[in-house]
Copies of this chain bind each other. A is one copy, B any other.
Amino acid sequence: MKARIHITLKDGVLDPQGKAIQHALGTLGFSGVEGVRQGKYIEIDLTETDKSNAAETVEKMCKKLLSNMVIENYSITID
């Protein structure tokens, strides 16, 4: 199975990388950009064939390694 994980900064946490992108878009002439937030996107190929087991494992991976629960949220899609 394939797990797709989105890791995004929680609301209120400063995102300097997003700000840098927003500024760069402005200097390139793109107007109408109200905000930019950058996160991470991770794809994991698993040998597990049961969807709920896979989701449980990936949830543990997120909590233990992939995300920093203090400042980041994660969302998991399994297919």
Contacts and interface: CB of A to CB of B under 8 A. Distances in A.
Interface of A: 6-8, 18, 21, 24-25, 28, 30, 32-48, 57, 60-61, 64-66
Q: How many copies does the complex hold?
A: 2
A41 B44 contact: no
A61 B30 contact: yes
A24 B14 CA distance: 27
Contact of A39 (B24, B35, B37, B41): B41
A23 to B, nearest CB: 11
A9 to B, nearest CB: 10
A44 B36 contact: yes
A34 B45 contact: yes
